[in-house]
Amino acid sequence: MIPAFIPSPGQGVWLLGPVPLRAYALLIVAGIVVAVWLGNRRYVARGGAPGVITDIAIWAVPFGIVGGRLYHVISDHQLYFGPGGAGWIAALRIWDGGLGIWGAVTLGALGAWIGARRAGVLLPPIADAVAPAVAVAQAIGRWGNWFNQELFGSPTDLPWGLEIDVAHRPAGYEQFATFHPTFLYESLWMVGVALVLVWADRRFQLGHGRVFALYILLYCSGRIWIESLRIDSANQVLGLRLNVWTALLVGIGAAIYLVVSWRLRPGRESVLTRPGHEPVSDEPVLAGPDPVDGEEAETDIR
């Protein structure tokens, strides 16, 4: 029989001897692996060298995890340092959940910039190649909230309502059994974002960071309405949750960049490497005509 509602997992941690395997962490790792694989394929298809995305991920991933945790702890500081807060140790326990995408993208971009400079490649083509991959990683990682029974929306009796155990229901909502599965909404939204990015990149030959900017714009558009459904405690500004304001402002910035960048630098960049580094190309070097009268042979590098 098909259940009337979406059940929550009975557990999110399994013991492998003395080692706990946490679904939240496993899904984040799975998202990272898929993102690196897909990002590498897209970068090679744009003319980049294989393995560059992996080298950059060595910098971007740790920076992104630290940034995501910092944003979460700072934006929800009362959970850790307010009256009755969980304290410094809990702030470091990333496996219990709590990564802010805004901090992850910001510091992750810094790590990617460092990795790109070390690899001698330009950052905008890297960002455009990995943008759909990042969206897919988010779609996978959001299922960690399902295992943790966290970050769900307001009560609902819709057929796809999410059953939440009493122990995980916020104060004042103990009498409700099913809630909007915001983790599922965002996961499906990000799958759609990834598909739109791939289509738009092929259709309009986007470059100069515009695929990544479009990813930011589309993510923010979805985050605004999904965030508005959530009932977990959050700081508010002028009656709106902080993350709604963040999504609104960042989304506007991404839209402005798309328009200005398109006008200033239409099309896609033809060079992927920084000045002073050998261009990356999968095309063979074609020899020109044989030397005549002592002239040197010419070559054509495509």
Chain segment 34-49, per-residue pLDDT in tens:
999 999 999 999 999 9
Report, as an integer, the average pLDDT of 60-71. 90
Place of tokens 């779609």: 139
Model pTM score? 0.85
pLDDT digits (tens, 9 = 90+) for 220-245: 999 999 999 999 878 888 989 989 99
Q: At what angle do helices 242-264 and 210-229 cross, to 10 degrees?
A: 160
User: Average pLDDT of the chain?
Assistant: 87
User: pLDDT band for position 76 (50/70/90)?
Assistant: confident
Which of helix, strand or coil describes residue 285?
Answer: strand
Q: Which of 245, 241, 209, 244 is nearest to 224 (CA)?
A: 244
- Name the region of 47 (left: φ>0; alpha: ψ -120 to 50; beta: rest): left
Domain membership of residue 148 (yes or no) is: yes
List beta partners, residue 110.
none
Domain membership of residue 213 (yes or no) is: yes
Q: Which of 111, 116, 120, 130 is nearest to 61 (CA)?
A: 111
- 270/176 Cα distance (integer angstroms): 56
pLDDT digits (tens, 9 = 90+) for 155-190: 999 999 999 999 999 999 999 999 999 999 999 999
CB atoms within 10 A of CB 79: 18
Domain membership of residue 11 (yes or no) is: no
pLDDT digits (tens, 9 = 90+) for 208-222: 999 999 999 999 999
The angle formed by the CA atoms of residues 66, 69 and 74, to the nearest 5 degrees, is 120
Domain membership of residue 85 (yes or no) is: yes
Domain membership of residue 12 (yes or no) is: no
Domain membership of residue 102 (yes or no) is: yes
Predicted local distance difference test score (pLDDT) of residue 291? 44
Domain membership of residue 1 (yes or no) is: no
Structure tokens at 134: 């990042």
Domain membership of residue 40 (yes or no) is: yes
Using the predicted structure, report yes or no on whether residue 55 has a pLDDT greater than 60.
Answer: yes
List beta partners, residue 286.
300
User: How many domains are contained in the chain?
Assistant: 1
Domain that holds residue 142: 17-301
